[in-house]
Amino acid sequence: MADYSKSWKEILDRFRIYVAVEKRLAENTVEAYMRDVERLATYCSALDRPIAPTRVTTQTINEFMAHLFDRGLEPRSQARILSSLRSLFGFMMLTDRIETSPIDDIESPKVGQHLPDVLTVAEVDSIIEAIDPTTKLGVRNRAIIEMMYSCGLRVTELVELRFEDIDFDENLVRVVGKGNKQRFVPLGVMARQRLEAYLTYRKQTEVADRKSASVVFLNRRGSKLTRVMIFTLVRQAVAAAGIDKTVSPHSFRHSFATHLLVGGADIRQVQVLLGHSDITTTEIYTHLDFDHLRRTVEDHLNI
């Protein structure tokens, strides 16, 4: 069994280098890929008759997916794991370790579309206003939520934002998204005001290390924020505002896109602003009830 574990480790180590260096995927994406493929490696290595990575068949994958189903894994998670495995076996074909992929004839589980709740502009404002503006962390947190909403940033894009990415002269923000793809989004008046208010305190923050020196948003110890920290501060602000919706950091990006389309923006413009490589990803927003959303937004804005 040790030999099989060793062969899996060799493949996975090389796969990690491939997705991180050659594919240039973000660190969080790489880790997600590795968690998924390691589940298959663990499964194959623990069988009564262990299976080497080059000996995995379609039947092996089907039995593995049945194993995940028995453990209660949701269809969305199953589909994600299959996607990661397609990348793994695609890499193995690319490097001549196998001739065909055992994933080719396997369909992903049907996953219903799920979008987070849409926040109205008034709800976004109330969440921001619920944060204490008299503290350094409060000023920072207001700027964070405003940037996620006004610029449609993903959590990773926010925590990785650097000073050189912000052009105050042109009121633009350069965003480095998935696969290191860059896009430029406008820096709105309110976002600029909240960001400048935070930067006054940021200049006084003692930076923990050289890597954090150019990072815009820091924690109280002077280091780069983590995704967990962003989720926590959002949850606290939503609770303080008394918003009775399921709200995550992604809700602000989702609301950003929705409000643009409700306001009449072209879907291709929204695609560019969100950094979607495929417009079909953006098109999920076209299935929303825009008449209802428009009335809701207008009611809160007193239009």
As annotated, the active-site residues are: 154, 178, 250, 253, 276, 285
| 3 state DSSP class of 162 | strand
Residue 33 token pair: 């890929």
DSSP assignment letter at 278? S
Q: Do 9 and 49 touch, CB atoms closer than 8 A?
A: no
d(CA 20, CA 34): 11
CA angle 266, 270, 272 (to 5 degrees): 120
How many Cα neighbours within 13 Å face the side chain of 203?
Answer: 5
Q: Is 52 helix (H, G, I), strand (E, B) or coil?
A: coil
Q: Which of 120, 98, 124, 165 is nearest to 259 (CA)?
A: 120
Q: How many angstroms separate the CA atoms of 213 and 65, rounded?
A: 45
Q: How far apart are CA 180 and CA 176, in angstroms?
A: 5
Q: Which long-range contacts (CB under 8 A, 24 or more apart) does 101-109 make?
A: 102/56, 102/57, 102/58, 102/60, 102/61, 103/58, 103/61, 104/58, 105/58, 106/58, 106/61, 106/62, 106/65, 106/82, 108/78, 108/79, 108/82, 108/83, 109/75, 109/76, 109/78, 109/79, 109/82
